[in-house]
Structure 1
Amino acid sequence: MKGTEFAELSAFMAVTRERSFRKAAQLLGLTPSALSHTIRSLEERLGARLLNRTTRSVAPTQAGQTLFERLGPAFQDIEGAVKDVGAFQTQPRGTVRLNLPRLAVHRVITPILGDFTTAYPDIQLDLVIDDNITDVVAKGFDAGIRSGELISQDMIAVKLTPDLRMAVVGSAHYFQKHTIPQKPADLNNHSCVSYRWNETGTLYPWRFNNKEQSFDVKVSQSVTVNDIDILCEAALQGVGLALLPESFVQPHINIGNLVRVLEDWCQPFAGFYLYYPDKPHMPAALRAFINFVKLSRRLDKPA
């Protein structure tokens, strides 16, 4: 069906419901003369008179009444569909697709998951755990969570956590056989387990800095893997040293399963941010999630 044909049928339905060209024209944003011309075009195209007009009233002919009754359910479905889509803009319902690394799940999402799903039972969270640097727009995500250093400038970003730090760790068993490195260059004498992004094949850099300089150290990998859980497990088993997020390995450090080294050379970097594209019409479900996360972050701050 052409757009003009649909417009003609919409005009006919409005006039028949209102029994008035003037009232129907007001609803459609047309002049009465333009509306009358549209109805005449429809009648000429169908080859049948649809409305009987007098100076005081408008009523459908038998053909017009038949057409009105046949079109009624279809137009109700269309109006209902449009209303349902509009509800996504005003009522928090639907799916929010979120791309985020494994560490962000534990730091940001897990603490609020129960409260959020209770507050918004009509919103479905689709969480895709992804440690790669993913283009959330190209992949069809509503938003993402990443370190602030990895977010492009055309995104809106909301800070979620304090700055992060990496930690070089090895098992106590490993250090029974190897000397503790005192400076990053000493890593050349150690076996290391490293993270590799599976999409690009790039190794996560062993980057160190102090107040004066920042540099990468090329380490000798005994194991490379694209999962930080396995990376940590390899370090726990004494396979080699690993470079992992501080908060991820701190529990193991606290109980003595892992020993941290080169701490002074691991300086803080930008923490996790929630980021999303700047769009004129944000779905209500996404807006509700963003506002909930913002509020939870404020409540977590000490008074």
Structure 2
Amino acid sequence: MTRDLKDLSDFVVVARAKGFRDGARASGVSASKLSEAVRRLETQLGVRLLHRTTRSVTLTESGQRLLERLGPALIEVEASLDAVISAGRSLTGTLRLNVPVNAARLILPKILPGFLAANPGIRVEVTAENSVIDVLEAGYDAGIRYDERLEQDMIAVPVGPRTQRFATAASPDYLARHGRPRHPRDLLAHACLSSRFASGALEIWEFERRGEVVKVTPAGPLVVRAGTTIDLAVDAAIAGTGIIYLFEDWLRPHFDSGVLEPLLEQWWQDFSGPLLYYYGNRLVPAPLRALIDFINAQQE
């Protein structure tokens, strides 16, 4: 048997006030509605809870027993609801993010330390993977992806650089032994360190210059899983094994140190930067709202 919690609460109000009019003044609910609620509850329970006269309202024995057990229970329910509401409004709790490996490597280190320092009550859990998943169904609050992978019902916030580029590079030792490619098609004659997606498809290297787009299917001595084992390919490139194709930001420290040299730079293709995304058809948890506000403030 289902019982409306509001009816139970209205019964407690009337019982404690010892009358419908006094109960109405205490609760802000009309006396007639309180009377209807108690009558509805008595019908559902099949017992009389109140003795009503023109001068007074008193509890029956059943009503007294119900009040004694129901009063503390309702207080606990109200306290639980207050705690949930307070937690939803306060900057505490856990924020779960699902991001691609490159975002965990290049984007989050520039955001999370400052965010966590400003919000000591928030804990962030990050899962890095390149598979496209339903973040809500998988238990995450938000994710980071690129525009072409977002569904229409997502709300997206730019995070990190607005544009990025893929870069090609090789070590000075490799270039001394094999020469420097002058055109993307020259890569077909070189040892390329390629990546394979979770689907099994090899990553296609794409280049563009003055409207001309060239796509190259790389071949070489090493194939790694896109994202998760890309550091192995970077180390192999530094060791002189072959040419690598990767985010410019990932390779930039190695350019600066001189262990890798940029190749075909005039062909590097721009693409839009990453986005923090979440479903817009539900309430935004306080930790996620805090992160969105922090990101927006950084970009102002």
2:168 pairs with 1:168: yes
Amino acid across the alignment from 1:291:
D
Hey, what's the Cα distance between the residues in 2 that align with 1:150 and 1:42?
52
Contact 2:204/2:218 (<8 A) preserved: no
Q: Which residue of 2 aligns with 1:20?
A: 19
Structure 2 counterpart SS, 1:242: strand
Contact residue 171 and residue 236 of structure 1 kept, 8 A: yes
Q: After superposing the two structures, state which structure 1 stretch, 274-283 or 46-55, moved more.
A: 46-55
Structure 2 counterparts to residues 1-40 of structure 1, below 5 A: 1-4=1-4, 6-22=5-21, 24=23, 31-40=30-39
> Would the alpha carbon gap of residues 251 and 45 (structure 1) be closer, same or farther in structure 2, given more than 3 Å must change?
closer
2:246 corresponds to: 244
- Where 1:269 maps in the other structure, the secondary structure is strand
The reply on whether 1:193 has 2:180 as its aligned counterpart is no
User: Larger deviation: 18-27 or 98-107?
Assistant: 18-27
> Is 131-140 or 67-76 further displaced after alignment?
131-140
Kindly indicate whether residue 218 of structure 2 is the aligned counterpart of residue 183 of structure 1. no
Q: Does 1:138 align with 2:137?
A: yes
Which of 229, 232, 237 lines up with 1:230 in the alignment?
Answer: 232
Indicate whether 1:290 and 2:289 are aligned.
no
**Counterpart Cα distance in 1 of 2:213 and 2:25:** 69
Amino acid at match of 1:236: I
1:218-266 C-alpha deviation (Å, 9 max, x unpaired): 1214222122222211212222211111111111111211121111111
- SS of 1:38 mapped into structure 2: helix
Contact residue 167 and residue 246 of structure 1 kept, 8 A: yes
Moved more, 158-167 or 56-65: 56-65
Task: Tell me, in whole angstroms, the C-alpha distance in 1 between the residues paired with 2:280 and 2:236.
Answer: 41
CA contact (8 A) 1:209 1:265 kept: yes
SS at match of 1:238: coil
> What runs of 5+ residues in structure 2 fail to find an aligned partner?
none
Alpha-carbon distance in structure 1 between the residues aligned to 2:25 and 2:94: 37
- SS in structure 1 at match of 2:134: coil
Question: Whole-Å Cα distance in 1 between the matches of residues 21 and 237 of structure 2?
Answer: 79
Q: Residue 45 and residue 113 in structure 1: after superposition, are their counterparts in 2 closer, same or farther (change >3 A)?
A: closer
Residue 215 (structure 2) aligns with:
216
TM-score by length of 1: 0.86
The alpha-carbon deviation at position 188 of structure 1 amounts to 0.8
23 and 183 in structure 1: CA distance in 2 versus 1, 3 angstrom threshold:
farther
The one-letter amino acid paired with 2:48 is: R
Distance apart, 1:177 and its partner CA: 1.9
Alignment of 1:4-153 (within 5 A): 4=4, 6-22=5-21, 24=23, 31-153=30-152
Q: Judge conservation of contact 1:89–1:282 (CA < 8 Å) in 2.
A: no
Shift of 1:17: 3.2
26 and 236 in structure 1: CA distance in 2 versus 1, 3 angstrom threshold: farther
Distance 1:234 1:90, change over 3 A: same
Q: Distance in 2 between matches of 1:267 and 1:221?
A: 22
1:23, 1:292 → 2: CA distance? 49
**In 2, are the aligned partners of 1:88 and 1:283 still within 8 Å (CA)?**
no
- How has the CA–CA distance of structure 1 residues 23 and 90 changed in structure 2, closer, same or farther, with 3 Å as cutoff? farther
User: Residue 286 of structure 1 aligns to a residue in which SS?
Assistant: helix
Q: What is the deviation of 1:24?
A: 4.4
- Secondary structure (helix, strand or coil) at the match of 1:292 reads helix
Q: List per-residue Cα deviations over 1:11-60 (Å, max 9, x = no partner).
A: 32232234332454578786533432432343355454322334444333
Counterpart-to-counterpart distance in 1, 2:55 and 2:119: 52
Residue type of the partner of 2:256? N
Q: What is the aligned-residue RMSD (CA, Å)?
A: 2.5
Q: Does the 8 Å CA contact 2:194/2:219 hold for their aligned counterparts?
A: no
Q: Which residue does the alignment assign to 1:255?
A: 257
Aligned to 2:155: 156
Give the Cα–Cα distance (whole angstroms) in 2 for the partners of residues 93 and 19 of structure 1: 42
Shift of 1:117: 2.0
SS in 1 for 2:178: coil
